[in-house]
Amino acid sequence: MQPTATVLVYSDDSGTRQQVRLAAGRRPAPDVPPVEFVECATLPAVLSALEDGGIDVCVLDGEAVPAGGMGVCRQIKDEIFRCPPVLLLIGRPQDAWLATWSRAEAAVTHPIDPVALADSLAGLLRQRRSVDA
């Protein structure tokens, strides 16, 4: 893995994207690299960023409109070769089965709990590092 990790954050809501950035901080855990964020507000922007490469983890908002993060997750898992792991933001704990359907590796609920998000993101970055090693 490069000296920094690149995290794609998808939400149509700029406030949600900001909450993810603030919750993750510059480094979500001491044993993972510092993170840089690529923010996307639309599905075409997500697909373009993933096709360009260099994304280590995706954080997708399940409540985004018109393309929700669950559907986006399933689509990129089908269409992107070596798709990065996905952390899905879900509206309520009962939606965890939908996160599983979408093939997300992890999920956290709205409102965003900074500790839960940082822990989940760090876990996915560790997973990505072990795959790349």
Query: DSSP letters of 25-75?
Result: -S-SSTTS--EEEEEESSHHHHHHHHHH----EEEEETT-SSS-HHHHHHH
Query: What is the sign of the dihedral through the CA atoms of 87, 90, 96 and 102?
Result: negative
Give the residue from 25, 14, 71 showing the smallest Cα distance to 47: 71
User: Per-residue confidence at 133, pLDDT binned at 50, 70, 90?
Assistant: low
Structure tokens at 121: 């993101």
pLDDT tens digits for 9-67?
Answer: 999 999 999 999 999 999 999 999 999 999 999 999 999 999 999 999 999 999 999 99
Angle between helices 14-24 and 114-132 (to 10 degrees): 70
User: Per-residue confidence at 2, pLDDT binned at 50, 70, 90?
Assistant: low
pLDDT tens digits for 63-90?
Answer: 999 999 999 999 999 999 999 999 999 9
User: Per-residue confidence at 120, pLDDT binned at 50, 70, 90?
Assistant: very high
Q: In the predicted model, is pLDDT for residue 130 greater than 90?
A: no
Angle between helices 43-52 and 69-79 (to 10 degrees): 30
Structure tokens at 36: 């840089």
Q: In the predicted model, is pLDDT for residue 1 greater than 60?
A: no
Asked which of 52-56, 112-116, 127-131 is least confident by mean pLDDT, the reply is: 127-131
